Amino acid sequence: MPPLSFYKVSLENKANAINSLLQKESIVALVGMGGIGKTTLSKKMYHLFQNQYEKYSFLEDVKSKRHQQWKEKFLQDLCDRKLHKDEDIDEYLDEIKQCMISKKALVVVDDVDMKKNLGALQLCIDKHATNVDYKNKILVNYQNWQILKNHVREFTKIHMAFLEDEQARELFMFHVFKYANHVTNDFENIYREIIKACGSLLLSLEILGCYLCDIRDLEI
């Protein structure tokens, strides 16, 4: 079995499902706890389908960015314009909105975690956003649906589920053993306990798997 084959197929299927929903709706939300894989899935969808759009922008980890940063990124990605030092980005907000309305654009707003981060999402939305024919398509990742529900309709919400057992196993083993075709029997006997301790949480499996990659002492 090629590395990550089962997990990759599942990831691509989910990305295809998101893209299909975006063909019918203008805004789709991925909702789930931190570390469950929202960013990983968003990146997969973005890279698979970005070439179907005239313009595209992936705003990663929006909660850690200043308003100035994501506004500049939208201006550059969607309007092909770079802000000069002596210019005020707020003067270009109407232009950014016009680029989104007039062009077929894919925008991913990743990891919004509080009300003050919603500006990045609100800039993408205008009065035409509920129109099925609206060209601009938005995927937003969020942990707290209660804040997001005023901006995204309930039926376009996708709850991120935990990895299935086989997905969790394959992902963890890949990070520990990389492209090895087999693992030791001793390790096989304990990997389930490690995965269970991680709660099948994608980020935990990746971090712990990378940490254990060069360690072959089971006592660790």
Tokens 């005239």 locate to 54
How far apart CA 67 and CA 113 sit, in angstroms, is: 14
Look at the domain 5-159 and name its fold: Rossmann fold (3.40.50)
Q: Say whether 174 sits in a helix, a strand or coil.
A: helix
Domain positions in the chain: 5-159, 165-211
How far apart CA 167 and CA 106 sit, in angstroms, is: 28
The per-residue pLDDT string of the chain (220 residues; one tens digit each, 9 = 90 and over) reads 444 565 677 888 889 989 998 888 888 888 887 778 888 899 999 999 999 999 999 988 887 878 888 889 989 999 999 888 888 988 888 888 888 878 889 999 888 766 666 666 666 665 444 444 557 888 988 876 666 666 677 667 788 777 777 777 877 877 777 655 455 666 777 777 887 787 777 777 777 777 777 665 656 5
How far apart CA 72 and CA 89 sit, in angstroms, is: 7
**What's the whole-model pTM score?**
0.74
How far apart CA 6 and CA 28 sit, in angstroms, is: 25
> What token pair was written down for 5?
């084959």
